[in-house]
Structure 1
Amino acid sequence: MNEKPKYTLRELILYFLKLGTIGFGGPVALVGYMYKDLVENKKWISDEEYKEGLALAQLAPGPLAAQLGIYVGYVHYNILGATLAGFAFITPSFLMVLLLGIIYQAYGGLVWIQSIFYGVSAAVIGIITLSSYKLTIKSIGKLNLSSFKEKWILWLFFTSVIVITYITEKEHILLFVAAGLVYMLIKARPYFKIAKTTNVLILISSGFWNYESSTLMKIAIFFTKAGAFVFGSGLAIVPFLHSGVVVENKWLTEQQFLDSVAIAMITPGPVVITVGFIGYLVNGVLGAITAALATFLPCYLFTIALAPFFKKIVNNKPVKAFVEGITAAVVGALVGSVIIIAKRSIVDVSTILIALASILSLIYIKKIQEPYIILIAAVLGVLIKLSF
């Protein structure tokens, strides 16, 4: 990390501003762009540095692409580089969702806007259903006899959390932490220092967060908590947001929440940036800024705190086991939330067909991206509503 960089800090910032402006395709595509641009083409960072950053991003909580971007900024320019790269990556998509939030709030009651989101909501259900399946396969494995024998504990966590989420319609963060701790104790019993760290996690995830305050403070606390328990895909934040925003605080309606997920999918940059749209609907521009900063704060802090000694973290078996356990529970919560949302959003034959078509398009049309599916669904929604 101490080698003289082949690029200036200004060049790094401009690169991430560009990526945040035109980087469509979700976390997998975004980390792919970074490898192609920064490792293969520009040769700003080495293949080893990139892989180390990717491994750290997968181990620590936070949206994958944003975390890798922060780490890349850290490689040669330390905390200043990490901070500026993170802001540059997130700012373009944040400004886009903020503008869309303003338009949505001003015109959301109009019939043509409602028609657009009629189709879009159904497409979103299809997209997040397929994403849930892919996340399950990636995190736990395919559901077959050999996988079940090897990872039956993870499958137990996964299915239990689906049922609990569906029945209670809430996310239980202590349940996620417990899954991580139990799996860690079974698979790789840690030394005292690790146990001490996890005790801190339990304290942080329980009583520390629970106190009454103003709406803006509630937004800050809620979104910081949500950001601390997102692993890998930005879609993993959906169950947290749905539970807190729709069910507990009743800040948004079910339809508004689905629309916010759709907004995230038609804009570039990290999917998690939907929090800016939600924050705006709840409490205006300050709400949007607070929600976005709070969500990305844990990701930023984890990255700059762990980056200096990531090699030990990557090879630490207890940490890996803890992350595996908590990820299985989080993915289970995502699946449970998809079922809840689908039950309320798939209301007729048209929405069923749009959701199925979205899934099949993503499976069989390899190069199609989510924004195109969302736009096609919007057109279909208007045509269907106009025909009645």
Structure 2
Amino acid sequence: MSGMTEAGAAPDSVTLKQASLYWLKLGCISFGGPAGQIAIMHHDLVEQKRWISESRFLHALNYCMMLPGPEAQQLATYIGWLMHRTVGGLVAGILFFLPSFFMLCGLAWVYMAYGSLPAVAAVFHGIKPAVVAIVLFAAYRMASKTLKNPLLWAIAILAFIAVFIFKLPFPWLVLAAGLTGLAGGQYAPAYFQTAGIHGVQQPGHGKALIDDSTPTPAHARFSWQRLRRVLFCGIALWLLVMLALIAAYGWHGAYTQMSWFFTKAALLTFGGAYAVLPYVYQGAVEQYHWLSPGQMIDALALGETTPGPLIMVVTFVAYVGGWHAEVLGSAHAAWSGLVAATLVTFFTFLPSLVFIFLGGPFIETTHGNLRLTAPLSAIAAAVVGVIFSLALFFAWHIYWPQGLAYAVDWFSVVLSLLALLAVLKYQVNVALVIVASGLAGALAPWIFT
């Protein structure tokens, strides 16, 4: 069978159909956030199937980690493109998030249609405290990898103050941190040196289909003509859909504003989905009022329990926003939500795909390490502070659901502490923690009455 190899022998060629089946499978099982998703791909594609060598895999990963957007999805797109041209990249990139899209739309419909039922509300009452713990854990995990010296700690603290106290917009923080890193990389480079984030370094798996010495295929060779063509197609596709929305609903229409806002969010997703969630929170909850703070927390919880990149939270956010906006009429709220979710997912992932097709040929011209780490190190440090601020935003609304003047919800506080203990000390899977917390919320009315 194609793809099965003897030890040390290069695998047979892989057809687009075989690759597509794998990308679909990956989209259905890719739990665990970017680190888990990259680990799955490394195990499957480097160690088991040997479709790509260790160094080529890491080289592609280095590029994807420099880009805004979900790096695991971009890595799948890159490998799919390298193996089967543009169609292979599109198939890999789209199948990576498509199962999650359908799951989240289904869950969003159930949530909006039946979320007010006491039993469903009780489940989410248990899930919300777990989200606080998970966001805190994400901040701790990122801090332990990025805050290696006092200067990076100072950047993180200043970012926290800027967001939590002064409510500064997230794009300005990214810009300020990037400029700080750019200057620091020149005048104090020792403070901005970083190690690999995902720790994928296990050489010696035998020859691969795309090996270290495999020549760059013709379609992956850099040319200015190809770059201009890809850039034109990406911008034209974005403009075509955006202009259609403006013509149909006007610039201030809900669909148009969602598409524009999440385009900006897609270009700010440095450091993973948690980094851009405060920006999404500022826009979707505080500025546009597409959903409530509680619904934003529920969106994150459901995003954590479904496969695919965590940035798929925006699909749920858009569905809820579209449902509330009733763009297609009050009798078709579900369809309004589905259209909003589809549009936002499109505008979220279009930049990721374009970045791969734009930069891939250039990256293939050099198999050395990319050295733009200083600005990214500063941005990553700022992101830590932003994520901590997000955790406090969530805790505020969960522990004091009626405001600080009212009593604390001690059930939520205790459940958060238990969830944090589970993920931090015992390394329990995040999805299991959310399920267990939801079960605790469902049982609480029976136990405490």
- Normalising by structure 2, we get a TM-score of 0.75
Which structure 1 segments of 5+ residues have no match? Answer: 142-146, 190-208
Q: Distance in 2 between matches of 1:170 and 1:281?
A: 26
**Counterpart Cα distance in 2 of 1:341 and 1:249:** 18
Aligned-residue offset at 1:172: 3.0
Distance 1:310-1:139 versus aligned 2 partners, 3 A rule: farther
Partner of 2:261: 222
- How far apart are the structure 2 equivalents of 1:298 and 1:331? 24
Residue-by-residue CA offset, 1:112-171 (whole Å, 9 max, x unaligned): 111111110000110111111111222223xxxxx22xxx1x333211110111124453
Match of 1:155 among 153, 156, 159: 153
1:63 paired residue number: 70
CA–CA distance in structure 2, aligned partners of residues 288 and 259 of structure 1: 16
User: Does 156-165 or 324-333 show the bigger shift?
Assistant: 324-333
- In the alignment, does 2:104 pair up with 1:97? yes
Question: Which stretch of the first structure deviates more once superposed, 100-109 or 377-386?
Answer: 377-386
1:355 and 2:412 matched: no
Q: Closer, same or farther in 2 for the Cα pair 1:224/1:105, shift >3 Å?
A: same
Deviation string 1:328-385 (CA, Å, 9 cap, x unpaired) is: 223322221211221111242111111111111112323x211111111011111113
Give 1:1-388 correspondences, 5 Å limit: 6-141=13-148, 147-148=149-150, 152=151, 154-169=152-167, 171-188=169-186, 212-283=251-322, 284-310=337-363, 315-317=369-371, 319-347=372-400, 348-366=409-427, 368-386=428-446, 387-388=448-449
| 1:314–1:66 Cα change, 3 Å | farther
Using the TM superposition, name which of 3-12 and 98-107 deviates more: 3-12
Task: Name the amino acid aligned to 1:333.
Answer: V
Specify the code of the residue in structure 1 equivalent to 2:387: L
Secondary structure, counterpart of 1:231 in structure 2: coil
Any idea what the Cα deviations from partners look like across 1:250-269, whole Å, max 9, x if unmatched? 11101100000001011111
Q: Deviations over 1:287-315 (max 9, x none)?
A: 10111121222222222222222276974
Q: Any idea what the Cα deviations from partners look like across 1:77-97, whole Å, max 9, x if unmatched?
A: 232221111111110011000
**CA displacement, residues 50-102 of structure 1 (integer Å, 9 cap, x when unaligned):** 11121112111111211111111122223222111111111001100000011
C-alpha distance in structure 1 between counterparts of 2:175 and 2:18, whole Å? 40
SS in structure 1 of the partner of residue 175 of structure 2? helix
Give the conservation status (yes or no) of the 8 Å contact 2:137–2:420. Answer: yes
Q: Deviations over 1:7-59 (max 9, x none)?
A: 11111111111111122222111111101111111111111221112111211
> What residue is the counterpart of 1:192 in the other structure?
none
Inter-partner Cα distance in structure 2 for 1:323 and 1:250: 31
Question: Retained in 2: the 8 A contact 1:63–1:230?
Answer: yes
Task: Find the structure with the greater CA-based Rg.
Answer: 2
Asked whether the 8 Å contact 2:11–2:51 carries over to 1, the reply is no
Contact 2:170 2:278 in 1 (8 A): no
2:59–2:369 contact (8 Å) kept in structure 1: no
Taking the aligned partners of 2:417 and 2:82, their CA distance within structure 1 comes to 43
- Matched with 1:202 is none
1:355 partner amino acid: S
Aligned to 2:165, what secondary structure does the other structure show? helix
- Over the residues paired in the alignment, what is the CA RMSD in angstroms? 2.2
Tell whether the 8 Å contact from 1:169 to 1:340 is kept in structure 2 after alignment: no
Do 1:27 and 1:234's aligned partners in 2 also have CA atoms closer than 8 Å?
A: no
Determine the C-alpha separation between the residues in 1 that align with 2:282 and 2:12: 44
Aligned partners of 1:169 and 1:346: how far apart in 2?
Answer: 21
Cα separation, partners in 2 of 1:212 and 1:5, compared to 1, 3 Å:
farther
CA distance in 1, matches of 2:419, 2:289: 29
SS in 2 for 1:326: helix
**CA distance 1:369–1:119, change in 2 (3 Å):** same
In structure 1, the partner of 2:245 is: none
Cα distance 1:299–1:5, how it changes in 2: closer, same or farther (>3 A)? farther
Q: How many residues align?
A: 355
Distance 1:118 1:243, change over 3 A: same
Return closer, same or farther for 1:385/1:64 CA change in 2, 3 Å cut-off: farther
Cα distance in 2, alignment partners of residues 356 and 313 from structure 1: 45
Alpha-carbon contact 2:105-2:319 (below 8 Å) kept? yes
Query: Runs of 5+ in structure 2 lacking a partner?
Result: 1-9, 188-241, 243-249, 323-336, 401-408
CA distance in structure 1 between the aligned counterparts of 2:347 and 2:145, rounded to whole angstroms? 27
Structure 1 partner of 2:191: none
Separation (CA, whole Å) in 2 of partners of 1:11 and 1:316: 31
CA distance in 1: counterparts of 2:367 and 2:272, whole angstroms: 20
Greater shift in the superposed pair: 371-380 or 226-235? 226-235
Q: Decide whether the 8 Å contact of 1:20 with 1:92 is kept in 2.
A: yes
- CA pair 11-170 structure 1, distance change in 2 beyond 3 A: farther
Whole-Å Cα distance in 2 between the matches of residues 13 and 227 of structure 1?
A: 25
CA distance in 2, matches of 1:374, 1:169: 29
Counterpart CA distance in 1 for 2:87 and 2:186 is 36
Amino acid in the other structure paired with 1:384: A
